[in-house]
Each structure stands twice: as C-alpha cells, then as structure tokens.
Amino acid sequence: MKIIITGGTKGIGRAIADKFAKENFDIAVCSRTQTDLEDLKTELTKLNPNIKLLTQVCNMKNKSEVLAFADLIKKEWGDFDVLINNAGVFLPGAIAEEEDGNLELMMETNLYSAYYFTRALLPTLVKKGKGHIFNMCSIASKIAYPNGGSYSISKFALLGFSKVLREELKEKGIKVTSILPGATWSNSWAGVDLPQERLMEANDIALSVWNAYSLSPSAVVEEIILRPQLGDL
C-alpha cells in the first residue's frame, strides 16, 4: 500500500506519515526543505524499517514543482492508494490590512497546489478504479473569523474543490474526504503561550484520517470537523 502526503515533514502531515508508516504503507512526501526530508527519512526508517520512502524538495506554490513531484511518483511507483493534500500556509490578517500578495500566495499554496497535483495523479486512480483523496481544509473553510482574511478565502475554496471532486469521482470508486480541523498544535502555533490541552494534538487528526480510510468500500466519510474540546480560539 502507498500513500502520498504533501507537506508531510511537520505538524499534521508528519503525524499522518507516522500513523501510516506504522500501518506498513510506503510513503511519498514532499517538503520545501531537504534537511526536513532527511530527518523524516531517518525517523520513519526507525519507526518501520520495512517501508519504502520517496521524497522530493517541492514548494507547492509553484506549479512546475508540483507537476515534477507528480511525475516522480508516476515514474517510481506507477500507482498509489491514498493522497493527502496537506501542504498549506497560514498568514493572518484582515482583508483590508494584510500585505499585498497574501491572497495570491495562499491561493497558490492552499488551493492551486491541490488542484494541479490531484489532476496530475487522477488518471492513475481512475485506471485503478479505487483510491482515497483527503484534502486538508480547516474550520476556516466554513466559518469566517477575525483576522482570517485570505487564508479563510483559500480554505473555503479548497472545501469547494473537495465537494466537486466527491461528485465527479463517486461513480469511479474513488473516495474524497475533507478534513476540517480547528486549532491544532503545529508550526502555525509555535511559541503561543497556551496550555497544551487548549489545542488538539496533530495525532488526533491523523487518527481521524486513518479511521475514515479504514471503512469498507461501500462507505465514505465526506467531511470530518474536529475542534478543541474547549472550543475555537
């Protein structure tokens, strides 16, 4: 079994990689930083020395790099079973106050990357007649909140992309699940002075992904909303 995770060296992506490594999945991961990929290789190999790892440096906001990563997967693997469109960026700011270019950056990273990457790999899944695509949306995909700005716009759009995929692929045996987490410990929250229990653990999201994947072929979880027990921040 094989899984692809974009932005899989830290936070939620890393937790998903750890979980699927424990379940004996070969893993393809991209990151913007080679050293992060090397560290991931070392740690996943310790976790499960029997799995195969495929890595590539890739800035997901650049279409050419996205397509190059897809080409590598098709060349080295041929097919796969699970795609996690996880790569994303969060820059806070109100629409009237955020820096010029924030919208373009977050649309390219949070939406276009998933669109181009999925399009490049879809023929493989369609030919196979099965597979599962997870898009890492956000609670900001449903609720606009102060200082969300272009981030929320991009995440609303990603949820729309997921809904369209779901309709287009349901007759082809391919599942599509949107994951909508609230505040989760990751690099986005690094240095925040809050109790550990105030935010969710990245592993909570990884377990939800695994459970959704584990259903029978006749069932699909279309959306998963997860929030901290004490509510949104």
Q: Is residue 231 part of a domain?
A: no
Query: What is the structure's pLDDT at 189?
Result: 60
DSSP string spanning 154-173? HHHHHHHHHHHHHHHHGGGT
Our count of domains for the chain comes to 1
Q: Is residue 47 part of a domain?
A: yes
The 10 Å Cβ neighbour count of residue 229 is 7
Rounded to whole angstroms, how far apart are CA atoms 131 and 125? 6
Average pLDDT over residues 170-175: 97
Position 188 confidence tier, pLDDT thresholds 50, 70, 90: low
Q: Is residue 78 part of a domain?
A: yes
Q: Is residue 106 part of a domain?
A: yes
Q: Is the pLDDT at 132 greater than 90, yes or no? A: yes
CATH number of the domain to which 153 belongs:
3.40.50.720
Q: Is the pLDDT at 136 greater than 80, yes or no? A: yes
Report, as residue numbers or ranges, the catalytic residues. 151
Instruction: Say which residues have a Cβ less than 8 Å from residue 66's Cβ, sequence separation at least 6.
Output: 58, 60, 113, 116, 117, 120
Furthest CA-CA distance within the chain? 51
pLDDT above 90 coverage of the chain, percent: 88
51-99: per-residue pLDDT in tens?
999 999 999 999 999 999 999 999 999 999 999 999 999 999 999 999 9
Q: Residue 122's domain spans which residues?
A: 2-226
